[in-house]
């Protein structure tokens, strides 16, 4: 089986989806113009999607209060330092910036809504087509 999407119930899916489009290069595959504003965003591989929506039937987590190790979205980054700078200028907040013993570079940020985003440049890539 393959992962099709990961869904997050958020407070402002329209603004969050736009930010992810503009700053993380995600592409809208489907969008609802009315509540719950369900939006499916695909990564640049076109193989994995993130669904953002605001549905009062479900809990909306306070992401800013969650530890980054509780939940985060990890993106492959060719240049984590440059991406970190660009994303922080766009409203993200830096949490950590680590180079592991194997040389992998991992940066943890919070997007403007508190969701943790990790930028990964692994010495030994774990996924196909990470270039």
Number of domains making up the chain? 2
CA–CA distance, 7 with 113 (Å, rounded to integer): 15
- Residue 60 in domain: no
Tens digits of per-residue pLDDT, 61-106? 999 999 999 999 999 999 999 999 999 999 999 999 999 999 999 9
Residues 51 and 1 in one domain: yes
pTM: 0.93
How long a stretch of residues is the chain? Answer: 131
Residues 90 and 51 in one domain: no
- Residue 61 in domain: no
Angle at the Cα of 23 from the Cα atoms of 20 and 24, rounded to 5 degrees: 65
Residues 31 and 73 in one domain: no
Tens digits of per-residue pLDDT, 37-66? 999 999 998 999 999 999 999 999 999 999
Residues 75 and 117 in one domain: yes
Residues 39 and 88 in one domain: no
Q: Give the pLDDT confidence score for residue 2 in this predicted structure.
A: 87
Residue numbers of the domain that contains 84:
67-126
């Amino acid at each position: 089986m393959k992962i099709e999407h990961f869904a997050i119930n958020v407070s402002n899916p329209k603004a969050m989806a736009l930010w992810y489009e503009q700053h993380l290069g995600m592409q809208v595959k489907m969008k609802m113009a009315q509540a719950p504003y369900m939006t499916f965003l695909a990564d640049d591989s076109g193989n994995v999607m993130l669904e953002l929506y605001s549905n009062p039937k479900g809990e909306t987590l306070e992401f800013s209060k969650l530890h980054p190790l509780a939940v985060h979205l990890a993106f492959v980054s060719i240049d984590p330092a440059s991406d970190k700078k660009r994303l922080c200028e766009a409203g993200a907040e830096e949490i950590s910036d680590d180079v592991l013993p194997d040389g992998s570079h991992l940066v943890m940020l919070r997007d403007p809504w508190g969701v943790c985003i990790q930028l990964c440049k692994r010495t030994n890539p774990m996924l196909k087509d990470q270039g």
